[in-house]
């Protein structure tokens, strides 16, 4: 007899369950069940016999034990302490194998393992573990035996499997014996769980999995299937749970095909379309300190979820289940309880007709609303509504425009939808949520089920831009704050509010890398402004920040105000001109800022206003913070310097020669970054790429320096110059 059939087992209720074994060819074998069923069969020429016997209905709250007797020509075998209930196969790789107790530094055991194991006394939950192995051909038997769930037996059992089974058993409406067949192999790849012949039948799968050389048997096509699935076939099961994927993250869409092939073939082997519920990979980074700007693992989670195109399949989201931030660097996270519970919720709702919310929020559609995007979810996934799991702001949202540069975005729950915005994106077209390798999300429904990561775009490539912290957190010292709008004119029809600006005048503009006699104006916006309706046509959100008056010789040709601007996000900057103070007139002139993080020259042409100007050649103007559409939330910093009047008949501005930046150039050999006019105090030069990843840091102790950048790949690098207490410069260099 096969070891999967034995004492203490659970048989699937209300089913013609297969029973098989081996006897002398042509001899008769009789199977007698104590619940009143008897069948007789004959051994085939190879000695194998197989038949089916009807099992009774399992009554909730009851667990009578039965016997099964097999009588052959040479002997009689009786199996005892048999239960009838629900049987599930639990398979995958190391996270399915992950045991309840501490096993090693890499497998820490479940959260509160000592108490969890001590409480695991469930005699009506039965456990069977298939001994790990590989084989080049299907084997007929495996090593293993059925046992009751006790603290002693559960300690080394699959944690996710146990919690899944326990949740089913404790459900009052189900409340029948549960049998768990655990068959997993740490480090195994999906192709090892699929027959070789099945993979060969698909061109893509054959190319990826068959036509290559392997160094490990646990990755070779079919070898684990032969040793760990074939010998338990066709023991009757209700369904299967699957926790695997770490070994196939790079397989992309072919993983979906392989997983679907596995499901279809296993269903064919068992002769039934049993339910199949899988687990998405948890967040992971090789170090908790590295930037989370890649999305290979996120794209793989999407491939895992695509198996739900098959009927009677499901997938569990896990990006909210790490126990702390440090666990993002752990391949085997400890919280297997919630994974088991969420798998059980799928089964309880879909296989046992329980009224249980099993879906987390699932993206359905988007609506662009100006500079914001509204995300809508499938109604059946909302439960009682959306919420933040930890009570903090929603996280892990990113937004991009047509340039495919994704920036961090804020997300606000608005009824059953979420409104997403980013100060770095004026014309959004796409949103991604939880779509990075280490995304630890907090969006759930009120039933506690996590939202599934998603992306609204179909781009095959995109860039996640993280502005370095040295840019986002300017730490300038002791500046004069001027946050009151000018009082020398009447701001006709303009309603100011929220004047708690952090606008600053930098007394020493050299600290920003530009040597001028003027002061550098810092314009910051940290909260939403209330804008009067007469400003809506401009499309900008204005705020009075820094104002200045100049006596300038405006003429028909001298009618352009020019300034140098350094910004931290994409946006616009503008000035308000009062050409005739006596009538309180004003005009808005705006200039677009390009997508760089470097100083650039902007020009405001008001030649059309010259005929209406006062005879006194003086105007009052304000350099004002204006962002994107009115009411957009989020921080922005713009630095304004070297404001002057220029002639509209002058040649085009050559910004590279007119300014005297700290950053000079990368020399013609592309080996050294030339720096001049550096601060006199020791400082750090940091180069980061557009994804925010630090590529190089150098300590500098002189006012001129040459930094060896020969090791850097060609590309755009953001340069930050700072000391322990002050930030001096942010700019951009390009290495070709």
Q: For residue range 458-506, what is the model confidence (pLDDT) as tens digits?
A: 998 898 876 543 333 332 222 222 222 222 222 222 222 222 233 333 3
State how far the alpha carbon of 336 is from the alpha carbons of 96, 158, 586, in Å: 9, 9, 64
Helix H or strand E segment including 200 = helix 196-200
Q: Sign of torsion, CA 402 404 405 407?
A: positive
pLDDT digits (tens, 9 = 90+) for 41-73: 999 999 999 999 999 999 999 999 999 999 998
Q: Tell me how far apart the alpha carbons of residues 107 and 387 are, in angstroms, rounded to a whole number.
A: 32
Work out the pLDDT band at 422, boundaries 50, 70, 90: confident
Assign domain 84-350 one CATH number from 2.60.300.12, 3.40.50.261, 3.40.50.1110, 3.30.70.141: 3.40.50.1110
Domain regions of the chain by residue span: 84-350, 363-465, 472-655, 663-735
pLDDT score of 449 more than 60 = yes
The whole-number pLDDT of residue 514 equals 33
The whole-number pLDDT of residue 146 equals 98
Helix H or strand E segment including 574 = strand 572-577
pLDDT score of 154 more than 70 = yes
pLDDT score of 622 more than 80 = no
pLDDT score of 574 more than 70 = no
Mean pLDDT, the chain, as a whole number? 77
Q: Closest Cα to residue 27, out of 51, 48, 1? A: 48
Can you read off the two tokens belonging to residue 296?
Answer: 């290979």
> Rounded to an integer, what is the distance from CA 496 to the centroid of its chain?
40
**Stretch among 66-75, 431-440, 522-531 having the lowest mean pLDDT:** 522-531
Q: Tell me how far apart the alpha carbons of residues 471 and 271 are, in angstroms, rounded to a whole number.
A: 61
Say which residue the tokens 């002189």 belong to.
Answer: 702
State how far the alpha carbon of 448 is from the alpha carbons of 302, 364, 389, in Å: 21, 19, 7
Question: What's the pTM value of the predicted model, to 2 decimals?
Answer: 0.68
Report the range out of 153-162, 516-525, 531-540 with the highest average pLDDT: 153-162
Report the range out of 421-430, 566-575, 577-586, 695-704 with the highest average pLDDT: 421-430
Q: Tell me how far apart the alpha carbons of residues 256 and 263 are, in angstroms, rounded to a whole number.
A: 11
Q: Sign of torsion, CA 72 73 76 77?
A: negative
Q: Tell me how far apart the alpha carbons of residues 508 and 468 are, in angstroms, rounded to a whole number.
A: 23
pLDDT digits (tens, 9 = 90+) for 197-229: 999 999 999 999 999 999 999 999 999 999 999
CB within 8 Å of 417: residues ≥ 6 apart: 374, 375, 376, 377
What percentage of the chain reaches a pLDDT higher than 70? 67
pLDDT digits (tens, 9 = 90+) for 361-376: 999 999 999 999 999 9
Fold: same for 84-350 and 663-735 = no
**Stretch among 82-96, 507-521, 543-557 having the lowest mean pLDDT:** 507-521
Q: Tell me how far apart the alpha carbons of residues 595 and 241 are, in angstroms, rounded to a whole number.
A: 47
Contact 155, 117 (CB under 8 A): yes
The whole-number pLDDT of residue 713 equals 79
Work out the pLDDT band at 624, boundaries 50, 70, 90: very low
The whole-number pLDDT of residue 463 equals 87
Can you read off the two tokens belonging to residue 590?
Answer: 């705006």
* CATH code of the domain made up of 472-655: 2.60.120
Assign domain 663-735 to its CATH architecture. Answer: Sandwich (2.60)
Contact 579, 614 (CB under 8 A): yes
CB within 8 Å of 352: residues ≥ 6 apart: 168, 171, 173, 174
The whole-number pLDDT of residue 559 equals 53
The whole-number pLDDT of residue 727 equals 46
Work out the pLDDT band at 732, boundaries 50, 70, 90: low
């Amino acid at each position: 007899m096969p070891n999967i059939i034995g004492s203490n087992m659970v048989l699937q209720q209300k089913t013609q369950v297969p029973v098989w074994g081996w006897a002398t060819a042509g001899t008769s074998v009789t199977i007698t069940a104590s619940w009143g069923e008897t069948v007789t069969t004959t051994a085939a020429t190879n000695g194998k016999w197989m038949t089916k016997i009807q099992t009774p209905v399992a009554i909730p709250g009851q667990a009578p034990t039965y016997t099964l007797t097999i009588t052959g020509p040479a002997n009689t075998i009786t199996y005892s302490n048999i239960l009838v209930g629900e049987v599930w196969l639990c398979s995958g790789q190391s996270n399915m194998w992950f045991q309840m107790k501490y096993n090693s530094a890499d497998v820490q055991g479940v959260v509160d393992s000592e108490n969890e194991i001590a409480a695991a006394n469930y005699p009506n939950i039965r456990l069977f573990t298939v001994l790990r192995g590989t084989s080049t051909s299907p084997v007929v038997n495996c090593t293993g035996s059925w046992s009751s769930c006790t603290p002693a037996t559960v300690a080394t059992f699959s944690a996710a499997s146990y919690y899944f089974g326990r949740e089913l058993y404790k459900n009052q409406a189900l409340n029948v014996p549960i049998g768990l067949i655990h068959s997993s192999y740490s480090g195994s790849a999906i192709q090892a769980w699929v027959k070789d012949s099945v993979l060969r039948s698909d061109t893509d799968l054959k190319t990826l999995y068959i036509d290559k050389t392997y160094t490990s048997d646990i990755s070779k096509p079919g070898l684990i299937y032969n040793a760990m699935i074939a010998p338990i076939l066709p023991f009757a099961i209700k369904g299967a749970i699957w926790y695997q994927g770490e070994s196939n993250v790079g397989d992309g869409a072919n993983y979906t095909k392989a997983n679907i092939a596995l499901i279809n073939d296993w269903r064919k082997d068992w002769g039934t379309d049993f339910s199949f519920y899988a687990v998405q990979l948890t967040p992971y980074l090789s170090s908790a300190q590295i930037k989370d700007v890649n999305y290979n693992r996120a794209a793989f989670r999407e491939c895992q979820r695509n198996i739900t195109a098959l009927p009677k399949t499901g997938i569990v989201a896990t990006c909210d289940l790490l126990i702390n931030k440090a666990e993002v660097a752990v391949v085997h996270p400890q919280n297997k309880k919630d994974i088991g519970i969420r798998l059980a919720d799928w089964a309880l709702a879909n296989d046992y007709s329980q009224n249980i919310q099993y879906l987390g929020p699932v993206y359905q559609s988007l609506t662009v609303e100006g500079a914001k995007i509204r995300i809508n979810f499938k109604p059946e996934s909302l439960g009682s509504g959306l919420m933040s799991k930890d009570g903090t702001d929603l996280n892990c949202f990113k937004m991009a425009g047509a340039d495919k540069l994704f920036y961090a975005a804020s997300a606000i729950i608005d009824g059953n939808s979420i409104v997403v915005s980013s100060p770095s994106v004026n014309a959004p077209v796409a949103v991604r949520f939880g779509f990075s390798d280490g995304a630890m999300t907090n969006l759930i429904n009120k039933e506690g089920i996590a939202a599934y990561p998603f992306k609204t775009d179909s781009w095959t490539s995109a860039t996640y831009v993280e502005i370095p912290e040295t840019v986002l957190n300017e730490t300038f010292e002791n500046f004069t704050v001027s946050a009151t709008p000018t009082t020398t004119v009447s701001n006709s029809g303009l309603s100011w509010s929220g004047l708690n600006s952090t606008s600053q005048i930098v007394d020493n503009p050299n600290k920003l890398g530009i040597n001028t006699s003027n002061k550098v104006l810092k314009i910051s916006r940290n909260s939403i402004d209330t804008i009067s309706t007469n400003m809506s046509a401009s499309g900008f959100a204005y705020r009075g920040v820094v104002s200045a008056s100049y006596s300038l010789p405006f003429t028909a040709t001298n009618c352009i105000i020019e300034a140098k601007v350094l910004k931290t996000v994409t946006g616009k900057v503008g000035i308000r001109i009062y050409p005739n103070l006596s009538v309180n007139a004003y005009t808005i002139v705006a200039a677009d800022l390009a997508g760089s993080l470097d100083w650039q020259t902007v020009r405001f042409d008001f030649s059309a206003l010259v005929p209406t100007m006062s005879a006194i050649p003086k105007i009052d103007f304000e350099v004002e913070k204006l962002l994107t559409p009115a009411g957009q939330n989020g921080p922005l910093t713009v630095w304004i310097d070297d404001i002057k009047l220029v002639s509209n008949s002058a040649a085009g501005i050559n910004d590279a020669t007119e300014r005297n930046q700290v950053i000079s150039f990368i020399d013609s050999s592309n080996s050294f970054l030339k720096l001049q006019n550096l601060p006199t105090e020791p400082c750090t030069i940091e180069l980061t790429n557009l994804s925010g990843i630090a590529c190089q840091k150098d300590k500098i102790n002189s006012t001129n320096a040459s930094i060896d950048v020969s090791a850097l790949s060609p590309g755009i690098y953001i340069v930050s110059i700072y000391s322990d207490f002050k930030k001096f410069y942010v700019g951009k260099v390009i290495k070709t």
